[in-house]
Amino acid sequence: MSKINIKIEGVAHQVEDGMTILEAAKACGYEIPSLCAFNHGECNRGSCRVCLVEATGARGLVASCVYPVSEGMEIRISSPKAVEARRRSVELLLSNHNMNCQQCEKNGKCELLHVASITGAREGAFKGVHSETHIDRLAPALVRDTSKCILCGRCIERCKNAHGLGILGYENRGFRTFVSPAENRSFADSPCIQCGQCVNVCPTGALMEHSEISKVDAALAAGKHVIIQAAPAVRAALGEEFGYPIGTPVTGKMIAAMRRLGFERVYDVNFGADLTIMEEGTELLHRITSGGVLPMITSCSPGWINYAEYTYGDLLPHLSSCKSPHQMQGAIIKSYWARTNGIDPRDIFVVSVMPCVAKKYEKDREQLKVNGLNDVDAVITTRELAKMIKRSGIIFNRLPDEDWDQDIMGDYTGAAVIFGVTGGVMEAALRTVYFKLTGKEYGRIKFEEVRGHDAGIREATIDINGTKVNVAIASGMKSAKVLLDEIRAGTSKYHFIEIMGCPGGCINGGGQPYVRSCFLPNESDDIMDTYKEKRAKALYSEDERLELRQSHNNPQIIELYEKFLDEPNSHKAHELLHTTYAAKEGFNEVAKA
């Protein structure tokens, strides 16, 4: 791209043509206060007016996030006029904002307060009537509070960009405008997939996960056998809550912290991931060899399952019948572990630490219950675990590195670890499917063809001893829709498809620590483009370090089948580890229209 000449605060610079003023200023070493770019950059409507500057050739002040640079432009960021205008813009936002900051779940990570501090905005500068408040707490995963919404539109754009959906939009006009699902419905009464991507980009506390910390507190206080299990993606991000660089694995300290919080057992969901591969890989081979429904599609992501039931009810037979790893492991805890330890399953309370808010919805699905009991009783996000650790007074970085509890389900393989990255489930399955078809291990171990952290579609043909297996990977429903429409049209060439609800996979789940460049002064300027890659690297590096890297080689998995489950896809395994799906009435007809 060609370069053009501009001046910022009287200093000459060369920048790329086509940049916005905000982008150009950043490239030249200036940080203009804003509520969009350099965070997630998904509003860029210029509506909040926080990033106003003076620029030659413009009539008055301009929103730097949308106004392009031009040859010879002179930009004033710190002129009295621009400074005062930015302060007034933030004060206007504050005037219609619920300022109960001490009780807000976003306290410490609120971008509105951040720009208020930078601009010198005063609380109470403008007084008047507040907009009507709408609070939605009905959905199991999400909470919406319009008293904290600043109408930036980032949630609206993220839903469109990640999933091609329009769950959220502007309702009414003028002072009566608010953001909600259509007709101010609850998230619970809309085709929302509960993924939490909107929570990840919200600059305030207007959108949050439904906290289940109080459920965990109550179970601990009641003297239940409270067992905690953590998903692989959690270890790759939890450290960010305690000042570690993005992508720093903190497995040992996380385990030590969970023990000090009072949990009776601390397990890794990677055991459940290995178990999932044994069940899912066997199911795939059976479908391929016996003329079953193909392509088979993974079923680990509850956001994706929601989407399928809402929009592609006719394709549900293509989904694997396997429960997700934490649900499988919860089922084993309340059956095999309970029996081994002589404990009534009703006295066990299983807590899953997940990078995903949709897991809060998933755990209560009727189809997942065994003998009337939930496999998992509470789901807390990576952020919620961090809150529990902080309130307990634990100094995280001084903790020793400890290991998972080893009884019955302590072992795991590298295949399980990479479940947290898009393409990881596919690769883990291929490692075992290759062995099942050839009787020997895949020499390279890694299937590089299916790797990559970005949203979109990746495809590959894997030649396994003369059997060609066509596979595809998609994350985010916008990408998944392309593959699903091919299946619906009868043109799909694939045998196996992995779909993850969140772009990039679990490492970018709706319950992971917020990534905001404004709160990460020690990270590089490109962190918003590289954070997923850095988190993914933490998981791939653990896979590389482990001696066992194929799920079928996990000795405790082998023992579980010998002593309890018999074999993958057995009658007992189906009772505990498999599930069913049901199209959600009303939405499939709309989707097909």
Question: Tens-of-pLDDT digits for all 593 residues of the chain?
Answer: 799 999 999 999 999 999 999 999 999 999 899 987 545 556 667 788 999 999 998 888 999 998 999 999 999 999 999 999 999 999 999 999 999 898 899 998 999 999 999 999 998 889 888 999 999 999 999 999 999 999 999 999 999 999 999 999 999 999 999 999 999 999 999 999 999 999 999 999 999 999 999 999 999 999 999 999 999 999 999 999 999 999 999 999 999 999 999 999 999 999 999 999 999 999 999 999 999 999 999 999 999 999 999 999 999 999 999 999 999 999 999 999 999 999 999 999 999 999 999 999 999 999 999 999 999 999 999 999 999 999 999 999 999 999 999 898 989 999 999 999 999 999 999 999 999 999 998 888 878 788 876 657 999 999 888 888 999 999 999 999 999 999 999 999 999 999 999 999 999 999 999 998 888 888 887 888 899 999 999 999 999 999 999 999 999 999 999 999 999 999 999 999 999 999 987 655 544 44
CA distance 558 to 562: 6
Would you state the pLDDT for residue 36? 77
The helix (run of H) or strand (run of E) holding residue 380 is strand 378-381
Architecture of domain 3-95: Roll (3.10)
The helix (run of H) or strand (run of E) holding residue 479 is helix 477-489
CA 147 to chain centroid: 25
What is the largest distance, in Å, between two alpha-carbon atoms of the chain? 79
Would you state the pLDDT for residue 221? 97
CA 461 to chain centroid: 28
Would you state the pLDDT for residue 593? 45
Q: Where are the domains of the chain?
A: 3-95, 105-121+130-209, 214-577
Q: Out of 3.30.70.20, 3.40.50.720, 2.60.120.860, 3.40.50.1170, select the CATH number for domain 105-121+130-209.
A: 3.30.70.20
Tokens representing residue 17 in the block: 């043509």
Would you state the pLDDT for residue 456? 79
Tokens representing residue 64 in the block: 């730097």
Coil, strand or helix: which one is 383? helix
Q: Rounded to the nearest 5 degrees, what angle is found at the Cα of 549, between the Cα atoms of 479 and 354?
A: 50
CATH 3.40.50.410 fits 214-577, yes or no: no
* C-alpha separations of 410 from 129, 399, 406, 436, 447 in Å: 57, 21, 4, 24, 26
Q: Rounded to the nearest 5 degrees, what angle is found at the Cα of 301, between the Cα atoms of 299 and 302?
A: 100
Tokens representing residue 248 in the block: 């720093």
Helix extents (H) in 517-561: 527-545, 555-560
Q: What is the CA radius of gyration of the chain?
A: 25
Would you state the pLDDT for residue 452? 76
How close are the terminal C-alpha atoms of the chain, in Å?
A: 42
